[in-house]
Homo-oligomer: A and B are copies of this chain.
Amino acid sequence: MTSATRVAVLNAGGWGTALAVLLARQGCNVQLWARRAEHADQINRQRLNAEYLPGVTLPDAVCATSDLGVAVGDSQVVVAVPISMALRDLTRRLAPLIAPTVLVVHGSKGLEPGTLLRGSQVVESELGPAFRGRVAVLSGPTHAEEVGRGIPTAATVACADQNTAQALQGLFNARSFRVYTNADVVGVELCGAIKNVIAIAAGISDGLGYGDNAKAAITTRFLAELGRLVVAQGGQLSTVVGLAGIGDILATTTSQHSRNRWCGEQLGRGLALEDVLASTKMVVEGVPATRTAMALAERAGVEMPITRKVHSILFEGQPPLAALAELMGRQTTGEGWL
């Protein structure tokens, strides 16, 4: 599956648009689905998604539409990258439109509130058992603006079925977009769902006026607790130290553009969560992610001290300085991971 593959990308946010551009440059015919008809029209007219990926000209092989049936039509591959809380609804609408010959790859970085299901579990529960082995996840340190501009990036595509993973690797892999396969769907999805917790924690550290040492230490110790959770859920430690884990965490905690790091920084400076959230129109995924991560850790019986402290700061009113002091003052120990 290389050139002239027919792909539907849902939806036309920054990441979806960047992937549509990438796939079109690879020779695919791409249908880019936008929720609003006027947005689709604008994209087709301007050859540009000015709203979500400014400055990137769309290749001719990208065609936008707001009709999901048209978008999916005779596509061989569906790339579903809505915001994570919209994944179930989108997949439900998708279900009657596609046959189980189609490969579905999602990019959701979140657990479903309440059920705590991972992205592929949500997708499979809506598409049904015929799609088993045909649902994959794409993850890694992939800021959309950089991918759209063709700046080198590496990502991982995970599927329990290695044929599917390799087919999608062949589809996405490009000169400026290096794709690795990974069989550990659980690990890749959990890393993506929980990485924004450490982005908030890193921001809190910055907001308190701490330095590189503290941020590196918190991130490192967070990896240990993320590793414990991933293993307890049946995933692999190697995934935590791979592109979907440490890779994505690195890009998120160091980025000046990360909303989650920014949110943490405001909290570290002493602002209240409701005031921080009220000051932006953007979704700060780390806030619900901290809730679902904590719920999952409790269900799995895994100790996650940093996540617990972020939870205390976000939802229980604990002052950041006191939370940090408690972390630093814990019983000294060895550096064990598990």
Contacts and interface: CB of A to CB of B under 8 A. Distances in A.
Interface of A: 140-143, 145-147, 151-154, 156, 169-170, 173, 175-176, 178-183, 209-217, 219-221, 223-224, 227, 238-243, 246-248, 250-251, 254-255, 324-325, 328-329, 332-337
Contacts of A333: 180-181
A336 B182 CA distance: 8
A244 to B, nearest CB: 8
Contacts of A214: 146, 151-154
Contact of A250 (B181, B216, B239): B216
A70 B153 CA distance: 55
The 3 closest A-B pairs by CB, nearest first: A141-B216, A154-B217, A220-B247
B143 A335 contact: no
Contacts of A182: 334-335
Contacts of A334: 180-183
B211 A173 contact: no
A151 B332 contact: no
Contacts of A215: 250-251, 254
Contact of A178 (B146, B209, B328): B328
Contacts of A242: 220, 224, 335, 337
A246 B223 contact: yes
21 contacts: A141-B212, A141-B217, A141-B220, A145-B211, A146-B214, A152-B214, A154-B217, A156-B335, A180-B334, A180-B335, A181-B335, A182-B335, A216-B243, A217-B247, A219-B247, A220-B246, A224-B241, A224-B242, A238-B336, A239-B335, A242-B337
Nearest to A334: B181
Contact of A175 (B221, B223, B329): B329
Contacts of A239: 335
Contacts of A213: 141-143, 146-147, 151-154, 251
A97 B68 CA distance: 80
A180 B332 contact: yes
A251 B205 CA distance: 14
Given A213-B143, A334-B181, A337-B238, A328 B176 contact: yes
A336 B325 CA distance: 37
Given A152-B214, A182-B334, 4 more contacts: A152-B217, A180-B332, A213-B251, A220-B242
B332 A169 contact: yes
A147 B312 CA distance: 27
